[in-house]
Amino acid sequence: MDDLLRTFIMIAEKNSFTKAAAELHLTQSAVSREIQVLEKKYGVLLFERSNRYVRLTKAGEILYTQAKTIVVQYELIKRLMDDLTHTAKGELSIGSGYTFGEYLLPKMIQDFITRYSDIIPKITIKNSRRIVDQVLRHELDIGIIEGSFDTSGLITRSFAKDEMVGIVSPAHPIMDKQEIELYDLRNETWILRERGSGTRDVTDRLFETQGFMPRSTMEFGSSQVIKEAVEAGLGVSLISKWAIRKELQYDFLKSFTLKNSPVIRELYYVLPNSRFRTRATDLFIQFITENISSSRAIHE
């Protein structure tokens, strides 16, 4: 049954029997037969078909939603059974917010697969809000998020702290001041991440608690673009110290800590709310918890 559902899901997502057949390495006639089996089993049509399109019927939409969950559970059962009889192996789907995912996770993954060569990480990098949503839908085994989000229905654990600092271009006159307060930056253009990101969440909370309103803002969906915008003199920003190690080393940016307003955020891992999880997930949690300390040392 799981193979039939996988075929059905592939057709629904590709909107094409031909493309689904190619992706699954099956003939188009074999794919059609599998859908006929499902339609006969449930007594409904699952797709509307014409020469121009393939789309789900109402029954197909219902089955698609449920089938996605069922296939995830099939895969989880298989991996849990493997864990009982073998060492940890197979795919481990990991999602992460951009800062951790771009600046810390790659080296950790390299070290992790060196130690556990039978585990195959699949990495998804998105903003933290979207990572939470994917864990809720059981599309990820574990998510790593930056900042505070509604994680109702998930297991959430803090495992590290991340210091956020202000950044400006090296020639910015604000660096002549011995102490910098948020109020000193009221006439600056603030370069911000998009809403839903952990960095934006922390920045918005800082502004709210300080009663601060920047003169103008610009918004980008990438920390890398923000760093380049600040380096070009477009404005100032708040960013993780992990994200600017190279820029500080080569004097592309200058950083500062706000007087009386240190900005420290929590990093969390989030898990589906289940009694069971794979051995690979537990090993990864143990690994990042142990190894974050070496990454933290670079912060200093």
Q: Token pair for residue 54? A: 């393939």
What is the rounded CA–CA span in Å between residue 175 and residue 100? 28
pLDDT in tens, 3-37: 899 999 999 999 999 999 999 999 999 999 999 99
DSSP 156-169: EEEEEEEEEEEEE-
Question: 3-class DSSP state for residue 154?
Answer: strand
In this prediction, residues 166-177 reach a mean pLDDT of 93
Burial class of residue 182 in the structure, from the number of CB atoms within 10 Å of its CB (0-12 exposed, 13-18 middle, 19+ buried):
buried
| Residue 231 · residue 282 · CB < 8 Å | no
Q: Token pair for residue 88? A: 């940890």
Q: How many CB atoms lie within 10 A of CB 34?
A: 20
pLDDT above 90 covers a percentage of the chain that reads 73
Give the pLDDT score at 153.
92
Domains of the chain: 2-83 (1.10.10.10), 88-300 (3.40.190.290)
| Residue 270 · residue 154 · CB < 8 Å | yes
Q: Token pair for residue 253? A: 């940016």
Q: What is the pTM of this model?
A: 0.71
